[in-house]
Structure 1
Amino acid sequence: MGKLVYGAGQEYDLDDRVLTHVKLAIVAKLRRHESFLLNWDVPVEQGSGRVSLWISREVPLVFQFSGSRPPAINTVWLEALMHTSQRTGGMVVMSEEEAERHLPE
């Protein structure tokens, strides 16, 4: 399980594979100086609810992985993350299986 460390040390647990894809999407946005919301649902085993973070170049951000090797990249999943980031509600962190549902038809 990896960690997304945001701002002044707020930590969020995300699976390494999910975190890898989210990292690539976030970095692509920030390289273009684009700020956006990052949203995900908190699983029941972690207390339930939702998280929304305002992501911008001005806020420190750390991606901490528990595994030593990066996973293979699923380009459809990455494209789905990038597509949702263009919406008013922001980027939605979804499972790999849900990715195609978030792409335009």
Structure 2
Amino acid sequence: MGILHYGSAATPIHIDDRALAHLKVVVVSKLRRSESFTVSWQHPEDDGPGRSTIWVHPSIPVRFEFDEPVAPELNREWIEELAHSANALGGITLIAEHVGPVEDICDDEDDASAKK
């Protein structure tokens, strides 16, 4: 479990290492361009119900801390989804990674109609 340290907040934000690695790419890219945005997430089950949002601004220090010593292989599609949401009014909402292309998922009826 990685940690996002944001500003002078006393409470660190715990995020899965893999998700944090993807979020880091988008955050650094946006901050390089001096762009501000929000990041929202649901609280882990052991913290009780709820969600949080932070306003990410270039003047506020941010630090990414990872448990794993080796960076994971990154999923370009997930990064693009996060980057796209960063540009929307709602900002980034941490979402689960999609595994495999959506086009490969279909039911038997779709297979039958595609063969006609």
TM-score, normalising length: structure 2: 0.80
Equivalent residue number for residue 3 of structure 2: 3
Structure showing greater radius of gyration is 2
After TM superposition, give the deviation of residue 89 of structure 1 in Å. Answer: 1.1
Please tell me the residue identity of whatever aligns with 1:52.
T
Deviation per residue, 1:10-55 (Å, 9 max, x gap): 3011110000000001001011110001111112222221110000
Distance in 2, matches of 1:43 and 1:66, equals: 17
Report SS of the residue matched to 2:90. Answer: coil
1:53 aligns with 2:54: yes
Say whether residues 1:38 and 2:39 are aligned partners.
yes
More strand, by proportion: 1
In percent, how many aligned pairs have the same letter?
Answer: 37
Q: How does 1:78-93 map to 2 (within 5 A)?
A: 78-93=79-94
Gaps of 5+ in 1: none
RMSD: 1.7
Q: How many residues align?
A: 100
